[in-house]
Copies of this chain bind each other. A is one copy, B any other.
């Protein structure tokens, strides 16, 4: 084992969902979707992740109830844990009741102004002692736009243009107070040093932001920027701005190719490839034995409503799949404006596996094109080690199928196995999310 390999540590996030990522998870006897209002429940979940020394909890977002499928929300609200809490709000509360683990929330660049978003994340960074991350998304559904006084989403390239401006303005705001600008000089009567606080005067096509921010520079300087776009425009954006990439990679070959491509793109922009961490989503279904794990997977699958999967997919690709017959294969889709990378993954799978739309829905309700790993703790650890040491990733965003049980199983059984193998930390060594992830302070 080379020196650099010996020092490399796997990064693990928990992609938190109130009952779990399997669309049917809320129906599993052990889940507690009815506790999603309850801060004590999040304390239990985040506390368990913290006990496992994980890097961060991660919350996704979309603005509204998925209703692209048939342009109604009946399927969604009946069959999926469809209610949510605002994730930026929720990570703030989680940060207040945890000590060490990072907290990352999704927020879109398409519907708000950079000032307030930058201010909220800077504030969470202060209150958490430097543990916040922002998962930047551009949003993919017209029905989300219609909650924000717009007819529909911008087209793909324009969404990323707006996102670029949003990030440029946010970065400028976070940097508008230099470190050390606060003086607190009571005797001299100097609260802050005006010479170390700067107007921004950002002039973009979408945003004009005068600045400065009214929040001094935060412990991490800037929140950790996470990004999940895997399309061409998404990759360019990520190479420039992202520090963590969350991505759906069904196979190790695809993951290795994506990993190499993103590290190369980061280097081209002049960044160190080590400062861009690639963390594919993975759904671990783990039990004492493989047989038991397979049994759990089957029981979750039995509870699935295939339409729930189609409702989720319709929303993400911004295309109403209800117009196609359920028991025939899906024809090739044209002019779909939503999440391009997701559409490509689905199309690729349908080339090799001839599924009906109903079968696709059942499949998608599982892990939504993210890799599923089913087996014993050793088998799951083997999988993770193979990807991690094989140039496919720097860690994983863990999508537990049902919680809290499958999360507790993973942390009690798989984390110790990873630790035994020297692949994962046994104790937090730093204070901030940047420390956990091995990222520099900007």
Using CB atoms and an 8 Å cutoff, list the residues of chain A in contact with chain B. 26-29, 33-34, 37, 39, 62-65, 72-74, 77-86, 88-90, 92-93, 95-97, 111-113, 115-116, 119-120, 122-124, 126-127, 143, 146-150, 177, 182, 184, 186, 189-194, 197, 206-216, 219, 303, 305
Contacts and interface: CB of A to CB of B under 8 A. Distances in A.
Contacts of A122: 86
A67 to B, nearest CB: 9
Of A150, A189, A191, most B-chain CB atoms within 10 Å: A191
Given A84-B214, A146-B210, 18 more contacts: A26-B191, A33-B184, A34-B184, A37-B127, A64-B115, A65-B197, A65-B212, A78-B192, A82-B214, A85-B123, A86-B120, A88-B89, A89-B127, A113-B147, A115-B148, A143-B210, A146-B208, A147-B210
Contact of A113 (B77, B85, B149): B149
Contacts of A95: 93
Nearest to A176: B65
Contact of A148 (B85, B113, B303): B113
B64 A212 contact: yes
- How many monomers of this chain does the complex have? 2
A149 B90 contact: no
A367 to B, nearest CB: 19
Nearest to A87: B123
A302 to B, nearest CB: 11
A131 to B, nearest CB: 12
Given A85-B127, A93-B127, A116-B112, A194 B149 contact: no
Of A34, A72, A216, most B-chain CB atoms within 10 Å: A216
B191 A81 contact: yes
Of A29, A83, A113, A305, most B-chain CB atoms within 10 Å: A83
Given A33-B191, A120-B88, A214 B65 contact: yes
